[in-house]
Each structure stands twice: as structure tokens, then as C-alpha cells.
Amino acid sequence: MAALSQRGASALWVALLTAASTATTLALACATPFPSLAALAAVHMRRPGGVALMLLAWLASQCVGFFLLGYPRDGSTLAWGVALGTAAVGSALAGYAAVRALNYRSVAARLSLAYAAGFTAYKAIIVGWALVLGGLHTATAPDLLAEQFVRNGAILIGLYALYRLLVAVGVPAPPQPVASAA
């Protein structure tokens, strides 16, 4: 695997993290950890790979919801599917922007920053969609926000541990984001 191209390594990580995300989605009844994936991508992947990860994880989440969990196939549910996709991509872009803007050296600081930015963007986009689609009360409920923040944070720790384990056993790391000029 050492000779795997950068593009191949990126595609491998998109696939591996999508599989891990899908397992999480199944275990948590379709609560895909988009902010967690966004943070990991912002710190360890280049932006095109990170956006591809978010889109593929979103697609996998939709397949799980509609084909395994029996989500209704009505306009509202389909619209919320689109909402989740835009929030997932927005989460990643916010994570990349935050990491690039502050350019910390510590992986823990970069992951924390990317997670906070990604979670905030994700929820802000969801609130925007809730204004149109309904469900604003649920989208802004403090107890649910806190629960989601903690759950996604725990999943980020698990995904990072999986990332480190796979790199330690020889899976090539994805191409790293280009550091911003300071």
C-alpha cells in the first residue's frame, strides 16, 4: 500500500470513513455524525476529498434511511434529505475555513476548532432549513443541541482513534491539507 497514489489514498479514506459513518448511522438510527466527519476531514484531508466524503456519507445516510429504516418517500422527507446534504457540505467547508484561518500546530487544537466550526455551521444551516420546512423548535432545542454536540464529539474521538489505528497498521494517510501561508 505504500505505493498508493495520493488520489488513491484520498479515495480509500473517503471510502473507509464513509463505511464508519454508515455503521454509526445504522447504530444511531440515521444520526450521521456529519460535524465529526467534517472535523476529521478538515484536519487530515484536502478539501476535495473532504467534500467528497461529506457527499458520500450523506448519500449513504439517505440510502440507510430510505431503504433500511423505511423513511417515508414524501416531499417533506426528501426536502429534509437535501437540507442534510447542504448542512453536511457546509459543515466541512466551515471546518476547513476555521483550520486555515487559525493554523494551529496541535492536532487536538485543529480538531477541536474544526469540530466547533463544523458543528456550528451544520446547526445554523439546519436552522435555516427549519425556517422553511418547519421543525424550528426541534432544531433549536437546547437539550437536543447539547446532546448532539456531546454525541458528535464522542464520535469524533472514536473516528480519530480509528484513523490513528489504521495509519499505525499501514494504511497510507490521505494527502494532508495544504497549510495556509502565515
pLDDT tens digits, one per residue of 103-123:
888 999 999 999 999 999 999
Question: pLDDT tens for residues 147-175?
Answer: 999 999 999 999 999 999 988 998 888 88
Tell me the three cell numbers of residue 46.
Answer: 484536502
Residue 95 has pLDDT above 50, yes or no: yes
Taking the model in full, what pTM does it have? 0.89
CA atoms within 13 A on the CB side of 136: 4
Question: pLDDT tens for residues 14-67?
Answer: 888 888 888 887 877 667 899 999 999 999 999 999 999 999 999 998 998 899
Contact of 134 with 140, CB cutoff 8 Å: no
On average, the pLDDT of the chain sits at: 89
Q: Which of 93, 23, 24 is nearest to 55 (CA)?
A: 93
- Which residues, including other chains, have CB under 8 Å from residue 82's CB and lie 6 or more apart? none
3-state secondary structure of 13: helix
3-state secondary structure of 112: helix
Domains of the chain, with CATH numbers? 6-168 (1.10.1760)
Terminal-to-terminal C-alpha distance of the chain: 34
Residue 182 has pLDDT above 60, yes or no: no
CA distance 100 to 42: 9
| H-helix segments, the chain | 6-27, 34-44, 47-63, 75-102, 107-133, 136-140, 142-168
Number of other CB atoms surrounding residue 125 within 10 Å? 20
pLDDT of residue 98: 97
Tell the burial category of 73 from Cβ atoms under 10 Å away from its Cβ (0-12, 13-18, 19+). Answer: exposed
